Structures are given as C-alpha cells and as structure tokens.
Amino acid sequence: MLCYVNHYYGPHPTFRGKSTTQTRDVRRQIVERTLAALRALDGDMDVRVCGIPGRALVPIDIPFDLSEPRHLVFETLVNMSRQQERYDYFINIEDDVEVPAETFRNILEFDREALINECLHPNRLERREGQVHCVDLEALPGWNFQEKTFRGRLLRTALNPHSAVLVLSREKLGYALRHVDPSFRGTVVGGLMASAYAHWHKPFVLWRTADEPEAHAVVHLDDWLPLGTPALRIADLDFTAILLSWKRAQNLPAIIAELSRIPEIREILVWNNDPERTLDLPGVNVVNAPANFRRLARYCLVPLAKHDHIWFQDDDLLVSAEQFHELLRHYQNDRARIVGCRGHNIRDGKYVYEDAYGEVDVVLGQTMMFHRGMLAAAFAALGELPPPTHDDIAFSLSCGRKHLAVNVEPLRDLGMSDDVALHRRPQHTATRQAAVERYTAWLARHPQPGRRIAQLEEELAQLREEHGALRGQYERLRNCASVRAVEQLKRFPLLHSAYMRAKKFLP
C-alpha cells in the first residue's frame, strides 16, 4: 500500500492556517502523529512525505517545486497515480489527519462487495470539550437522498465530499483516471486543497456512516471549527451581522458559530447570491436570491436590520470574537467612521494596492463595522452612478473622511485567494483605480453636507477660542487701577471731560 502525506509548513502570502501560524514544535508533533498512525496500519505500508523543500518540519521523500503550495495535493495525486501497477491500495492525505486502524479495515471489507464507483468515505472528526464534531458536515451541512446499510450501519452521501483524505484500490484508481482530468487545477468545493480531493472523487459515490459518525472516521488533529464558550460583553451596543455568500457556502457554519460567541451580535442575516444553492442555516435569516446581485446586495439588508450598528464580513475569512472586540474598542471611540481589519490608501489620486493600518482612505470590504446612518451619503452616490463592483471604495470615499483599519492579524483564511476571489481577476487593480477616480469626481461635484458642517463647526470653535482670549484680556484691563479710576470719573462728566483734554498732553 502506498501512502502520500501532503506536508507544508511556513509563511504564505495569502493563505493563513495552522500550517502557517502554529509553532514549529506543535506542528511537528501533529505531523509525526499522522505518520505514526499510517505506518501502524495493517499491511505493508509505504509512507512517503510530499512537500516543498524549505517548507517542511520532517524529511521530505518526494519534493515538489511549486510556486503555489495550495496545488500540492493536485500534484501528489497525479504523481501517485503513476504508481498504479505497483500497489494494491493508495492513500493520499493531509498532514494533520490521523487514520485509525479500524477505519482502514472498514474500507478493505467494504470494497470486497462494493461496486467500483462506491467508496466508504470516513467522517473527519474533532473532539473538544467532551463533544465530537464532524468538521466537514458542519462546514457544509446536508445529505443527498441515497441510502444503504453496511454492517448494520446507515450509510448516506453528504453534500460535502471533503474529508482531507482519498483511499482507493488499484482498480478504483484506474476508474478515476478514466473519468477525471489529471491536469485540472481549480475550485470544486472549498479551497484548492479540498478541491483536489473533490475533483478526484467526482466519479464515486462517497458513502458515510450517517447514524453514528464515529463508526467510520478519521481524526482531525487541528481545530477547524471555532467552538468555545461565549465571549464576555465589552460594550452596550447591539449589532446586526450581515454575511454575503456566493460560492463558499461551506464556510458559513464556521463563521456563524464564531459570530454567535459574540454577545454584541444579536442578529445574523445572510444574503445568498448563488441561485444554484438554497441555504437553510439554523438561527439565521437567509435571503436566497434568484440571481447573483453581487456585493451591493448586502447594503440592501442594512435597512432591514434590527440594530443600528452593522458588521459586514466576507465568507472567505474567519474573525474571532477576540478580534471583533479589538475592533469594537476602537469603534466606540468614534462611531462616525468605518472600522475594519484591513485598509488601503490613496496617494496623489492613485490607489495604493497594499494593506495599511491606522487611519486609511478605504476600509476593505472583507470586514466593516459602522453605524448604518453612514450609508446616507453612499446611497446618494450609488443612486447616480453605475453599480460598482468595488463597493468598499464607494462607501469609504462617500463618507468624506478618514477611517480606521486595526491590525488584528492573522485573519483565518477560508479561501481569500481561491479561484472565485475578486482580486484575482486580471483587471482588478485597474478597476479599483477607476472606482477611485469615479467617486472622487462625484464628491467634487457634490460637496458633502457633513464635511461642510464639520468645517463650520471647526471655524466656530476657533472663533469661540479667540473670543474667550479677548474676553480674558478685557477683564484684566478692567481690573487695572487706572482703568477703575477712569470708570469712576465717568460718573462726573465735567471732571471726566477735563481729564480727557489733559490726557492729550501727557507723555
């Protein structure tokens, strides 16, 4: 039996996960535990570590020269398939998944009577706080209609094909090669690594134990689901969280679970832009749109929100309760601006395409915390101009002031650079610059009342300060002895008149 373990450790320009943020010792122990479990399986196991030189914590058996580490699983599956005639079984797995011996025995027994296009697919479990959670079924809930039994267990096929592992016999690997395109590199479900497994699983019916997930499972050695006790309330503010979803529905349960930990978030609304999928999320109000209305759709939910304070979050990243509260602390200091996790600036009229923190011109639409009253100016601009793709630029610039980006890195990456990410489009930089020019020109034609009021208030404050200084000088003069004497002379007109004439001759 041949087993390829996909191993990576180190920084990545866009992806942030446990393989990029865990300490070296913790990550090494996880990888070594994965390898030990594989080597202990029944049979003659040929376990090989696949990775990128310089980005590993254990020795690499098969090196891959890749500029994009997230393509590693695609490449190892192709490489492994070339060994088809030399082995009876093939396992391809991520480096943080433990395979119990009983799980592998289940697969061998199932294959003795199964069709060539059937697999007994393990549930990927996490055990925390005395509870067991099936990661992938919570990430993308739902089952198809197929059912059968195996060894007295109910088997069903889930909507989510991912378990971070592929196990195929020689015959099934050959069947996969006849039905999949080994050169494919794209998104099927989730990120690129999950998509690699999903692509090679396309020809198969993936049966899972539905009545008891632990009956056939692998163990996820990292924590993916953000489970935990509710965070403490730090502000007397109530928020409505608005999520926009298109092709990453599998991320929503994890995002919603973390938002539910935040006591200030009292309502969660989801706008589903994918007409091919109907979402039903417990405890959440979902709008299933008949078409993709793009990013402006979430602004339409703001007037329907129960609360004045709004939280926008994309479906490709996870913000923890602690990170949210750090933003909230800054938001409380000034609720007349947008607060977010990342921002960009404009220099000499040019959009600077790099993350910035502190005061910024544009808060990226990945995360936005604001009072809904701020949308008045944005709606005025949106009502006159063509619908923008870059709504965050439109919203930020329409406010006519600087905003705040708070550095709470790292943000957990749930697909920020996958194939459906807007910033990967060829003209993305050019269209953002065009958006800056469009909204800057609009602002020049439409001076913002808020900006003029702020200017007048500043001038009034300066006048009041100058008036106070003059008043102080006047009072000091009044208290002078000579001034008091003159004031007394005014009571005697003849003496005062003589004094004023005589004053002309005084030095």
Query: pLDDT tens, 381-428?
Result: 777 766 666 888 889 988 888 999 999 988 887 776 555 556 566 677
Summarize the confidence of residues 441-464 as an average pLDDT. Answer: 74
Q: Which helix (H) or strand (E) element contains residue 62?
A: strand 62-63
Q: What does the alpha-carbon distance between residue 354 and residue 343 come to, in Å, rounded to a whole number?
A: 8
Q: What does the alpha-carbon distance between residue 355 and residue 416 come to, in Å, rounded to a whole number?
A: 14
Check pLDDT > 90 for residue 331: yes
What pLDDT does residue 503 have? 67
What pLDDT does residue 44 have? 94
What pLDDT does residue 491 have? 74
Q: Residue 57: CB partners within 8 Å, gap ≥ 6?
A: 7, 9, 24, 27, 28, 31
Q: What does the alpha-carbon distance between residue 156 and residue 159 come to, in Å, rounded to a whole number?
A: 10
Cα dist from 267 to 38, 246, 263, 275, 372, whole Å: 45, 20, 10, 24, 15
Task: Count the Cβ atoms, other than its own, within 10 Å of residue 309.
Answer: 21
What pLDDT does residue 19 have? 54
Check pLDDT > 60 for residue 213: yes
Q: Show the tokens assigned to 211.
A: 């009545």
Summarize the confidence of residues 20-49 as an average pLDDT. Answer: 90
The overall pTM is greater than 0.75? no
Mind listing the pLDDT tens digit for each residue in 37-53? 999 999 899 999 999 99
Summarize the confidence of residues 21-43 as an average pLDDT. Answer: 90
Report which of 181, 171, 168 is spatially closest to residue 119, judged by C-alpha positions: 168
Check pLDDT > 80 for residue 224: no
Pairing of strands 89-94, 2-6: parallel
Summarize the confidence of residues 87-108 as an average pLDDT. Answer: 96
Check pLDDT > 60 for residue 226: no
Q: First and final CA of the chain: distance in angstroms?
A: 115
What pLDDT does residue 472 have? 80
How is residue 100 annotated by DSSP? -
Q: Residue 280: CB partners within 8 Å, gap ≥ 6?
A: 286
What pLDDT does residue 449 have? 61
Cis amide prior to 290 (ω within 30 degrees): no
- In contact, 210 and 156? CB cutoff 8 Å: yes
Picking from 236-245, 268-277, 455-464, which range would have the lowest pLDDT averaged per residue? 455-464
Q: What does the alpha-carbon distance between residue 136 and residue 401 come to, in Å, rounded to a whole number?
A: 43
- Mean pLDDT score across all residues of the chain: 87
What pLDDT does residue 287 have? 95
Q: Residue 115: pLDDT band by 50, 70, 90 thresholds? A: very high
Q: What does the alpha-carbon distance between residue 139 and residue 256 come to, in Å, rounded to a whole number?
A: 10
Q: Residue 324: pLDDT band by 50, 70, 90 thresholds? A: very high
What pLDDT does residue 6 have? 97
Summarize the confidence of residues 214-223 as an average pLDDT. Answer: 90
- In contact, 169 and 88? CB cutoff 8 Å: yes
What pLDDT does residue 448 have? 64
Percent of the chain residues topping a pLDDT of 70: 86
Percent of the chain residues topping a pLDDT of 90: 52
> Which of 225-229, 289-293, 465-469 shows the highest mean pLDDT?
289-293
**Fold of the domain spanning 239-446:** Spore Coat Polysaccharide Biosynthesis Protein SpsA; Chain A (3.90.550)
Burial of 458 (0-12, 13-18, 19+ CB in 10 A): exposed
CATH 3.90.550 fits 2-220, yes or no: yes
Q: What does the alpha-carbon distance between residue 262 and residue 327 come to, in Å, rounded to a whole number?
A: 13
What pLDDT does residue 499 have? 67
What pLDDT does residue 241 have? 98
